[in-house]
Structure 1
């Protein structure tokens, strides 16, 4: 689907309609926002060709943050875009120039076999092609302004991009997750992502409010796609952040099974909210669509709890 020169590209990561990158085309110029993993690069180039553009017409790759499902393929993609520069949050720039620390951190969690199959090796980007997008860095895409805004909460190195022409935001993970399989007659179901290791609920509340103050007509989420009725969704996100924090603060820190407590409580919370939303899937269906996010959110809440209670 394409609206106002915005092309949604499914990166193919994990499953269909899970991980999106975006291609913006305007006045003979193009930019990618996020890129998925190395395995997504052929899909991105196919999307570029389908939009009638050449690799030489891509001016920028903009990253919302450097988590690998958003930025793992940045080096491989940049190697195929001869005139492009990379715009990234100042806290993330060094990881694109030298991704060894990113690789090592993910390797410790997932192991070599999963890293190779899911992400592929991370390719460094020459420092002279990397631009630190200090808020409010503005990218000119053929006369179309794209504003890079600091939006911490999910990660300290996170930014969102406001497209003034289309009046929409590309939110990475700041505006949560919303999978089309969970849509009902009431619209999209949305929930925050607390993926380790930098979840900060107060910062996330503030970042959501900052984006809402721009009065965007829609948000483009990495996970997944365009969502509208943004004021309603923002209210749901605020409520869910507070509910998830409440789940975490009532966990028994001394219990060896604290992580299991968190995953079970989060599954119960999402099941209740989905039922209120008019979704009729059973527990198995819930875990199919949200199992990975429940696991990661529990990890993120656990890291946050440990940091808060030091």
Structure 2
């Protein structure tokens, strides 16, 4: 589906309609926002060709943040875009020029074999092709202004991109996750993501509020796609962030803290999806949200550790 020259690309990571990148086309030039993994590059180039453009007509690759499901393929993609510059939060720039720390950190969690299979070896981006985007930085796509907004809470190196012409935001993970499997007559379901290691509930509340203050017509999420009803969804995100914080604080000091977090998050999401009119059972819920429940539990645990005793 295309609106205002915005093309949604399914990167193919994990499963269909799980991980999106976006292609913006304006005046026969283009920008990608996020890029998935190395294995996604052929999909992005195919989308570009389907839009009638050549790789030489891509001016920008803009990253919301450097988590590998958003940015793992940046080096491989940039190698195929001869005239493009990469735009990234100042805190993430060094990881694009030298991704060894990103690779080492993820490999310590998942192992070398899984990393190679899921992401492929990370390729550095030449430093001279990297543009650091502090808060308020504008990317010019042939006169179309894309404003970069510092939006911490999920990660300190996170930014959202506000497309002034389309009046929409590309939110990465700041505006949560909304999988199409949970759509009902009430619209999309949404939940926050507290993936380790930089969850900050106060900052995330503020970042969501900042995006909402722009009064956008829609949000474009990496996970997954365009969502409207933004005020209603923002209210739900604030509600769930607070509920997740309560769950975390209640589990603080428990000997089985992680297991308790997983159980309570599952209970929370089951209640809210049922309230939303989704009729799947517990097994289906864990099928679609199991990985996110695990990662959210880990992220809340890391956040609790930052609070100390």
TM-score range, shorter chain: over 0.9
Partner residue in 1 for 2:180: 180
The answer to whether 1:170 aligns with 2:191 is no
The answer to whether 1:281 aligns with 2:260 is no
CA distance in 2, matches of 1:177, 1:254: 28
1:18-65 CA distance string (max 9 Å, x none): 000000000111000000000000000000000001000000000000
Alignment RMSD (CA, Å): 0.6
CA distance in 1, matches of 2:230, 2:257: 34
The answer to whether 1:142 aligns with 2:142 is yes
CA distance in 2, matches of 1:81, 1:303: 38
Partner residue in 1 for 2:131: 131
CA distance in 2, matches of 1:153, 1:192: 10
The answer to whether 1:253 aligns with 2:234 is no
Residue 245 of structure 1 aligns to a residue whose secondary structure is helix
The answer to whether 1:263 aligns with 2:284 is no
Contact 2:64 2:158 in 1 (8 A): yes
Tell me by how many angstroms 1:176 deviates: 0.1
CA distance in 2, matches of 1:72, 1:119: 6
1:141-190 CA distance string (max 9 Å, x none): 11110000000000000000000000000000000000000011111000
Partner residue in 2 for 1:300: 299
Evaluate the alpha carbon distance shift between residue 252 and residue 135 of structure 1 in structure 2; reply closer, same or farther with a 3 A threshold: closer
Tell me by how many angstroms 1:273 deviates: 0.5
CA distance in 1, matches of 2:129, 2:285: 42
Tell me by how many angstroms 1:115 deviates: 0.1
CA distance in 2, matches of 1:293, 1:280: 19
Partner residue in 2 for 1:108: 108
Partner residue in 2 for 1:60: 60
Tell me by how many angstroms 1:309 deviates: 2.2
CA distance in 2, matches of 1:275, 1:309: 35
CA distance in 1, matches of 2:221, 2:18: 10
CA distance in 1, matches of 2:252, 2:154: 24
Structure 2: give runs of 5+ residues left out of the alignment: none
Residue 251 of structure 2 aligns to a residue whose secondary structure is coil
Tell me by how many angstroms 1:252 deviates: 4.4
CA distance in 2, matches of 1:189, 1:246: 21
CA distance in 2, matches of 1:162, 1:250: 37
CA distance in 2, matches of 1:238, 1:72: 29
Evaluate the alpha carbon distance shift between residue 172 and residue 130 of structure 1 in structure 2; reply closer, same or farther with a 3 A threshold: same
CA distance in 2, matches of 1:302, 1:50: 44
Residue 277 of structure 2 aligns to a residue whose secondary structure is coil
CA distance in 1, matches of 2:276, 2:254: 35
Tell me by how many angstroms 1:135 deviates: 1.1
Contact 2:5 2:25 in 1 (8 A): yes
CA distance in 1, matches of 2:246, 2:257: 14
CA distance in 2, matches of 1:159, 1:308: 25
Partner residue in 2 for 1:41: 41
Partner residue in 1 for 2:98: 98
Instruction: Compute the TM-score of the two structures, normalised by the length of structure 2.
Output: 0.99
